[in-house]
């Protein structure tokens, strides 16, 4: 018998993604015949548009199944350059763009090439679950800056500046936000950009939900606010959320050439090129018809309005209106301290466990996002599921004593 394998120190503090774990648990329960309503998934429930799937079929039939340039095929990189110019007013060259295996992969690689032990990276809370672990894997220190529900869960510029030390090297900014759906206005971004430029802090701008916006909100990329902030910003985006292509795993980064070159180098020693067929499909996504995107956004908006109406009608639940993405992040903490059948609800983990075990509703505890008073519910599911799931949540909360 062999001895016990000793794992590297870096893996000891890394936790599995809680959103993926809860989604997997809900799917396993469904597969076992349990009637579970899943609000955990961070992916559109729509199918990938037909023209995009057809482009993948054509790539297969043409034998486009070999190795490609590590940083992405030229036509896709050019399509990304054109998209950034047309949608965001950003001028990049193809050499300033690298295509990776999803936006998560993009952020991971940025962190690997920029941060190291002794560095600090500011992360506004509530935050996407993977940011802290991605930074910790570089041996840098994540510095969490809280925000308030009454202010729409947006990091105040003065709180950002207070968190800066001589060790601060980066800021991760996510707008529209997962988990809150909050969106930073132009004036918010201008204030943050001014501070980042003053202190020469790299901004990783996670814009993956850029197209999923409501109530007439106008999306602005922080990189578009002037040459100085553009020089400091790495724009991260992809096709997963906008085009219902989560499983295709295509994301991209745009930024200074030397950083993009470094990312391409590390990618050459890890994944090599992203999936060849998925890149052809992504080219069609960016350059083909966009009507399906508008249709999906309209439907998400309908669900958002309904979910907000239902949540706001539940006594003791408060929720800022999300203006982007497809999540609500409501505060259920008025129910903490109560119990169900003798089991006390002490925090978001306990409430989420009670909802799943006793009422067959899967929600993600806010503790995973750095805000324990809340639960994240995704409305990337059918109206029928949303209605039934909210009925169950309302029933559950009413029974807590």
Residue 203 to residue 342: CA distance in whole angstroms: 47
pLDDT at position 152 over 50? yes
pLDDT for res 17: 82
Q: Which of 108, 128, 323 is nearest to 211 (CA)?
A: 323
What are the tokens at 266? 């590390």
Rounded to two decimals, the pTM is 0.96
Q: What is the pLDDT of residue 22?
A: 79
What digits encode the pLDDT tens for the residues 342-360?
899 999 999 999 999 999 9
What whole-number percentage of the chain has pLDDT above 70? 100
- pLDDT tens per residue across span 302-352: 999 999 999 999 999 999 999 999 999 999 999 999 999 989 999 999 999
Does position 60 have pLDDT exceeding 60, yes or no? yes
Closest CA to 184 of 229, 158, 221: 221
pLDDT at 78 (0 to 100): 98
Cβ atoms of 248 and 283 within 8 Å: the answer is: no
Average pLDDT over residues 376-392: 97
The answer to whether residue 185 scores a pLDDT higher than 50 is yes
> Confidence class of residue 245 from pLDDT cuts 50, 70 and 90?
very high
What DSSP string describes 211-249? Answer: T-B-TT-----GGGG-HHHHHHEEEEEESTTTTT-GGG-
pLDDT bracket for residue 20 (50, 70, 90): confident
d(CA 380, CA 377): 9
Scan for tokens 């985006």, then name that residue.
Answer: 237
Provide the pLDDT for residue 16: 84
The predicted pLDDT at position 7 comes to: 92
Residue with tokens 């901004």: 203
Q: How far is CA 385 from CA 91, 116, 258, 378, in A?
A: 43, 44, 47, 11
pLDDT per position as a tens digit, 77-127: 999 999 999 999 999 999 999 999 999 999 999 999 999 999 999 999 999
Compute the mean pLDDT over every residue in the chain, rounded to the nearest whole number. Answer: 96
pLDDT at 1 over 50: no
Per-residue DSSP letter, 45: S
pLDDT of residue 4: 86
| Integer CA distances (angstroms), 298 to 68, 114, 141, 249, 270, in order | 36, 38, 40, 24, 39
Residue 2 pLDDT: 59
Distance CA 206, CA 113 (A): 17
């Amino acid at each position: 018998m062999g001895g016990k394998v000793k794992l590297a120190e870096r893996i000891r503090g890394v936790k599995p993604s809680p959103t993926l774990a809860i989604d997997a648990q809900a799917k396993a329960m469904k597969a076992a015949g349990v009637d579970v309503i899943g609000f955990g998934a961070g992916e559109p429930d729509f199918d990938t548009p037909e023209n995009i799937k057809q482009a993948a079929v054509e790539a297969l039939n043409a034998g486009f199944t070999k190795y490609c340039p590590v940083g992405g095929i030229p036509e896709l990189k050019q399509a990304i350059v054109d998209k950034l110019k047309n949608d965001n007013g950003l001028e990049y060259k193809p050499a300033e763009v690298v295509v990776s295996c999803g936006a998560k992969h993009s952020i991971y690689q940025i962190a690997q090439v920029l941060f190291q032990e002794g560095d600090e990276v500011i992360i506004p809370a509530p935050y996407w679950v993977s940011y802290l672990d991605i930074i910790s894997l570089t041996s840098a220190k994540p510095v969490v800056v809280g925000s308030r529900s009454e202010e729409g869960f947006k990091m105040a510029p003065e709180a950002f500046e207070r968190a800066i030390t001589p060790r601060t090297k980066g800021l991760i900014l996510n707008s529209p936000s997962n988990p809150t759906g909050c969106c930073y206005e132009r004036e918010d971004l201008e204030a943050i950009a001014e501070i980042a430029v003053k202190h020469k802090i790299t901004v990783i701008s996670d814009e993956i939900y850029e197209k999923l916006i409501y109530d007439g909100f106008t999306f602005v990329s922080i990189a578009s606010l002037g040459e100085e902030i553009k020089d400091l910003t790495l724009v991260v985006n992809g096709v997963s959320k906008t085009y219902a292509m989560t499983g295709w795993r295509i994301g991209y980064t745009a930024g200074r050439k030397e950083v993009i070159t470094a990312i391409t180098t590390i990618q050459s020693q890890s994944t090599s090129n992203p999936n060849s067929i998925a890149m052809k499909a992504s080219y069609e996504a960016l350059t083909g018809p966009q009507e399906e995107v508008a249709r999906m956004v309209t439907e998400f908006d309908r669900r958002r309005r309904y979910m907000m109406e239902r949540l706001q009608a539940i006594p003791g639940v408060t929720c800022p209106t999300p203006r982007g993405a497809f999540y609500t992040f409501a505060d259920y903490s008025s129910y903490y301290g109560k119990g169900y059948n003798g089991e006390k609800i002490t925090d978001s983990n306990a409430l989420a466990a009670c909802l799943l075990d006793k009422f067959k509703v899967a929600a993600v505890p806010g503790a995973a996002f750095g805000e324990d008073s809340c639960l994240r519910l995704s409305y990337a599911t059918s109206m029928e599921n949303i209605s039934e799931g909210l009925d169950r949540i309302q029933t559950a909360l009413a029974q807590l004593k």
